[in-house]
Amino acid sequence: MADSLKTIREECNQMSSGWEGSPDTEFNGITKAEFDTDRVACRAMDDEIDDDEAALKAKKLLRKSMYKGLDGKRKKVRVGVAGHKDFGENSPLYGAMGFVIESERKSGKTNKPNPSGGSQG
């Protein structure tokens, strides 16, 4: 759309106000009453969209809170499986839950070459 909705809304409001000077005159087959009816309907749709967006924002905040709660439980379950006498950090269950089992963990040490070309000593 070439014109923004905000611009169209502002220009239509100004046109309606100016039309008050000759409210019974029809322009190109359009009456002020018809024009204003459409303008009010557009404003009602704006209000409905604003309400929907506010509700969506509230739902997203609720979802975020729910996921934070679920993440807390996920962390507790991980620790529970890791510390369970029948399972632990090296169990297939631990791996199946998406965690790296103890026997497959890397040491974390890297043998990066020395940029100066010397030995790492």
Q: What is the pLDDT of residue 110?
A: 67
Mean pLDDT of the chain: 91
Which residues span the domain enclosing 99? 5-104
- Asked whether residue 29 is assigned to any structural domain, the reply reads yes
24 and 33 Cβ atoms separated by less than 8 Å: no
> Which amino acid makes up residue 7?
T
82 and 94 Cβ atoms separated by less than 8 Å: yes
pTM: 0.62
- Evaluate if residue 49 carries a pLDDT over 70: yes
Looking at the 3D structure of the chain, how many domains does it have?
1
- Asked whether residue 114 is assigned to any structural domain, the reply reads no
In this structure, the dihedral spanned by the alpha carbons of residues 100, 102, 106 and 109, taken in order and rounded to 10 degrees, is 130
Tell me the two tokens of residue 56.
């969506």
Which tens digit of pLDDT belongs to each residue from 21-33? Answer: 999 999 999 999 9
Backbone angles phi, psi at 95, to 5 degrees: -65, -40
Hey, is 30 helix, strand or coil?
strand
Which tens digit of pLDDT belongs to each residue from 86-98? Answer: 999 999 999 999 9
- Evaluate if residue 115 carries a pLDDT over 90: no
- Asked whether residue 118 is assigned to any structural domain, the reply reads no
- Asked whether residue 51 is assigned to any structural domain, the reply reads yes
